[in-house]
Structure 1
Amino acid sequence: MDTVYNDALTFVLRWEGGFVDDPHDHGGRTMKGVTQSVYDAWRASQRKPAADVKGISNDEIAAIYSNNYWKKSLCNVLQSHIDLVQFDTAVNMGPVRAMKMLQQAVGVGVDGDFGAETQKACDACNPEDTVALYCSIREALYRKFAQAPGQDRFLAGWMNRLNALRGEAGVPGFKKRGSGEADFGDTDHIERVPDISPDDSIEKW
């Protein structure tokens, strides 16, 4: 794994916490951000028997995040800082939603397909402006999703994570927090937002 990916993964894992099995969390049984269903699929793809996600290894975690989020969301072809924001968003809100949010941030058609037009816009954009707009789009979604039944208690954690991301990505007015303990707000973890299908709006819950 390269240094850029490892640094991004370090940030993400700080906010993914340890083992979680919260009935209010749509992600379900989760270890360091990897859900049981994702782990089951990964183990099957590696021709390994099913296992409890609570015992997942660090190497498996790094491989799953690289395959399912970093590469799937095309973080490896994005400019510095945009790659981190895209990665963290894909992990917390789903790769399809993250791709559509990226397209909205760079001002191209929002179809969830990273084609030549999206690549050109990403290459030509100003990273600082794009990251700031992307994070504003994400904040608006969090505030909307917090209005869903039972989800308001996750808003503080969502915002703490987002503001830490803003600091890490160099958004003006936000400080880089270093490797300190993550503040999950009113719960013991940051809730995963369910992903969408390519035909859905980014605002679908």
Structure 2
Amino acid sequence: MGAKMHETIDDLIDAVMEREGGYVDHPADRGGPTRWGITEAVARTHGWRGSMRQFPRDEAVAIYRRLYWYRPGLEAVAARAPRLAAELFDTGVNMGPPVAAGFLQRALNALNRGATDYPDLTLDGRIGPATLAAIDAFLATRRAVGEAVLLKAIDGLQGERYIALAERRPANEAFLYGWLAQRIGEPA
């Protein structure tokens, strides 16, 4: 994602909404109509009853903040590693917060040198005290470059998942280039 360390949750939400655009109803998208990147199902779950064409921006902002930042605990990650929190937010928006947290946990487990730096994590897709302690231990051991290494690992897992989605469902090939292009800051 290339997030800058000074980005706030407001900046991250603005970037997602700019990338996602307004109303979209792509025939190959199983998620159906979206506006600001929020699916109709998510909007309905959060009380929206109107047409997705009129789904308000402020409602989308509130959903991004609540579901994709605070609920998964990314403010605690941001206090330790802001670029990592930004990446997890972006990944969570695209794949769901449990998937993003799972990528983080897998990367931390693979990078703990056989559990000598910190214990292996249970892959539960939740950022709780054990995951935060592992981030702390990893960053203390690996210093400044550690965050960049975690970002690279998460990007690799995300890219593999996008390709697997396209392989399993050929209609997803319509989205693959855009999914991967956003990883390097290119327009889809």
How far does residue 105 in structure 1 lie from its aligned partner after superposition? 1.9
Matched with 1:123 is 136
The residue identity in structure 2 corresponding to 1:30 is T
Kept in 2, the 8 Å contact 1:105–1:130? The answer is yes
Return the match for 1:36 from 30, 37, 40: 40
Matched with 1:84 is 86
Matched with 1:60 is 59
Matched with 2:112 is none
Kept in 2, the 8 Å contact 1:100–1:112? The answer is yes
Tell me how many residue pairs correspond in the alignment. 161
Matched with 1:158 is 179
Kept in 2, the 8 Å contact 1:31–1:54? The answer is yes
User: RCO greater where, 1 or 2, for CA within 8 Å and sep 6 or more?
Assistant: 1
More helix by share: 2
Structure 2 gaps, min length 5: 1-6, 110-120, 140-145
Distance 2:61 2:24 in 1: 19
Structure 1 gaps, min length 5: 45-49, 165-181, 185-205
How far does residue 15 in structure 1 lie from its aligned partner after superposition? 1.9
Matched with 2:18 is 14
How far does residue 158 in structure 1 lie from its aligned partner after superposition? 0.7
Superposed CA RMSD in Å reads 1.8
How far does residue 110 in structure 1 lie from its aligned partner after superposition? 1.4
Deviations 1:70-91 (A, max 9, x none): 1122211112101111001111
Identity %: 30
SS state of the match for residue 28, structure 1?
Answer: coil
How far does residue 31 in structure 1 lie from its aligned partner after superposition? 0.3
Segments of 4+ in structure 1 off by > 6 A?
none
Matched with 2:142 is none
Distance 1:98 1:64 in 2: 17
Distance 1:151 1:41 in 2: 25
Within 5 Å, give how 1:94-109 maps onto structure 2: 94-107=96-109, 108-109=121-122
Matched with 1:203 is none
Kept in 2, the 8 Å contact 1:73–1:86? The answer is no
Distance 1:4 1:58 in 2: 18
- Range with bigger deviation, 79-88 or 114-123: 114-123
Give the alignment's TM-score, normalised by structure 2: 0.79
How far does residue 115 in structure 1 lie from its aligned partner after superposition? 2.6
Residues 1:27 and 2:31 are matched in the alignment: yes
Kept in 1, the 8 Å contact 2:28–2:174? The answer is no
The residue identity in structure 2 corresponding to 1:145 is L
Distance 1:9 1:17 in 2: 12
SS state of the match for residue 112, structure 1?
Answer: coil
Kept in 2, the 8 Å contact 1:34–1:53? The answer is no
Distance 1:183 1:120 in 2: 36
